[in-house]
């Protein structure tokens, strides 16, 4: 399939369906491969990705044996080969393999296990363990976490030690409170502590593929329970290895972007640097929509030593309700030398974007350095 203008939903297409059906036919002679492909293909064009995944799942149920254990055994025999069991070996597989049986169509199979095998824990979890080395079974596994939390966590403790990195990663990825594209795990948004023992077991995993998932899990947790993450990573950051320092920084990325002073302190930015900051000077106190807010300032070091500074600016946008809402924007990260003075000049465009609605009226801008905010300047936005 040509990759020009290739959409993710297009990874579930007639060719891939035919390939899946052929695999199933080899292992289940009674399988109506033509009927299966026809019933799915005729509906595809009008459906988005998740709808296509669901359609394939339900169509599999229509054409496979009604007994779940027999049906899932057929699916397991019909899987593509395992993905490589190493971070370096798997690089590039994500985008290159979408248009194959290693792509999103595998979610139809893992979701089949979750939807039709939820009452059969042992068989289903074994199936997900096998399937996840073809395409992550993180979404399907969440249904078993919800229905069988204690039993699943007992299984996960063993899986943390599994020789296959895809199985180990399934533990950290499926327990993310806010995993994208699927249901949230409200119980872990409320209290993430049951997840932490697994992250402890996996934090020094030999594979970056797994450690990145650990960091992503902690980043999820930080959105609702920042204190939990900060407390944990203060401890982990004592390990000065490059691998751990990368994990810590990646896990803190949302808090760093927000300018959380404790998070910045963990990665070496002192919350109270010895500096003098000149008040912001605006090029104009009125900005027309489509133009840019232009401002400048000077920062002087009052220290005899070099200091790392994370310099951000905060725009307080007018909302529809007439209240201001702050948004942090990254400006620069610098090492300020002893007694050095630097000048900051910034042109911040205010134009139409899909993720923000602008409203006319009073706005504010201020500097944020190592998490500490400095005096605001007002400007009016004209639309």
Q: Which helix (H) or strand (E) holds 352?
A: none
Q: Are residues 242 and 310 in the same domain?
A: no
State the pLDDT at residue 1. 43
Q: List the domain range (segments joined by +) for residue 334.
A: 275-382
How far apart CA 168 and CA 209 sit, in angstroms, is 10
Q: Are residues 234 and 283 in the same domain?
A: no
| Residues 299, 242 share a domain | no
Point out which residues pair with 275 in neighbouring strands: 301
Residue 368 placed within a domain: yes
334 and 223 in a common domain = no
Contact 331, 380 (CB under 8 A): no
Q: Among the three residues 236, 266, 296, which one is the final residue of a domain in this structure?
A: 266
Task: Count the neighbouring beta carbons within 10 Å of the beta carbon of residue 301.
Answer: 20
> In the chain, which residues have pLDDT < 70?
1-5, 87-98
Residues 284 and 258 reside in one and the same domain:
no
Residue 348 to residues 54, 133, 266, 286: CA-CA distances in angstroms? 43, 45, 29, 13
Q: What pLDDT, on a 0 to 100 scale, did the predictor assign at position 257?
A: 87
The CATH number of whichever domain residue 370 belongs to comes to 2.60.40.10
Asked which of 217, 243, 266 is the last residue of a domain, the reply is 266
CA atoms of 70 and 79, how far apart (whole Å)? 15
Q: Say how far apart CA 64 and CA 25 lie, in whole Å.
A: 10
Q: Tell me, yes or no, whether 157 and 297 share the same domain.
A: no
pLDDT of residue 89: 62
From the CB of residue 116, how many other CB atoms can be counted at a distance below 10 Å? 19
Whole-structure pTM value:
0.86
Closest residue by Cα to residue 167 from 113, 205, 216, 117: 205
Taking the C-alpha atoms of residue 215 and residue 38, their distance in angstroms, rounded to an integer, is 43
Q: Considering 266, 291, 320, which residue would you say is the last residue of a domain?
A: 266
Closest alpha carbon to 75 in 130, 30, 13, 141: 130
The token duo for 336 is 């300020």
Q: Are residues 152 and 212 in the same domain?
A: yes
Q: Looking at the structure, do residues 213 and 130 belong to the same domain, yes or no?
A: yes
Write the CATH number for 149: 1.25.40.290
Total domain count for the chain?
2
Whether residue 181 is found in the same domain as residue 253: yes
Domain annotation covers residue 68: yes
């Amino acid at each position: 399939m040509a990759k020009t203008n290739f959409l993710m939903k297009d990874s579930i297409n007639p060719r891939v369906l035919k390939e899946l059906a052929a695999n199933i036919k080899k292992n289940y002679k009674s399988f109506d491969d033509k009927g299966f492909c026809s019933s799915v293909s005729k509906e595809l064009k009008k459906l988005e990705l998740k709808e296509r995944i669901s359609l394939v799942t339900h169509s599999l149920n229509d054409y496979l044996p009604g007994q779940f254990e027999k049906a899932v055994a057929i699916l397991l025999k019909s899987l593509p080969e395992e993905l490589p069991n190493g971070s370096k070996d798997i690089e590039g597989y994500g985008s290159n393999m979408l248009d194959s049986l290693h792509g999103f169509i595998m979610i139809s199979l893992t979701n089949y296990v979750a939807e039709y095998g939820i009452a059969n824990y042992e068989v289903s979890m074994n199936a997900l363990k096998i399937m996840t080395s073809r395409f992550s079974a993180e979404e399907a596994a969440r249904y078993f976490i919800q229905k069988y939390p204690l039993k699943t966590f007992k299984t996960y403790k063993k899986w943390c030690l599994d020789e296959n990195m895809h199985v180990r990663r399934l533990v950290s990825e499926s327990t993310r409170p806010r995993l994208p594209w699927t249901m949230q795990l409200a119980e872990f948004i409320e209290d993430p502590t049951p997840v932490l023992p697994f992250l402890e077991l996996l934090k020094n995993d030999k594979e970056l593929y797994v450690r990145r998932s650990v960091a992503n899990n902690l980043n999820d947790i930080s959105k609702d329970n920042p204190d939990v993450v900060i407390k944990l990573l203060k401890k982990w950051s004592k390990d000065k290895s490059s691998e751990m320092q990368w994990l810590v920084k990646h896990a803190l990325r949302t808090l760093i972007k927000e300018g959380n002073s404790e998070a910045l302190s963990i990665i070496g930015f002192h919350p109270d640097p010895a500096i003098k900051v000149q008040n912001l000077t605006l090029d104009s106190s009125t900005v027309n929509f489509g133009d840019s807010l232009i401002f400048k300032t000077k920062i002087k070091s009052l220290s005899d030593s070099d200091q790392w500074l994370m310099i951000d600016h905060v725009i307080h946008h007018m909302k529809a309700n007439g209240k201001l809402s702050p948004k942090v924007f990254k400006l620069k990260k610098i090492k300020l030398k002893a007694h050095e003075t630097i000048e900051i000049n910034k042109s911040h465009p205010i134009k139409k974007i899909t993720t923000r609605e602008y409203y006319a009226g009073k706005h504010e801008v201020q500097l944020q350095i190592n998490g500490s905010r400095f005096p605001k300047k007002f400007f009016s936005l004209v639309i």
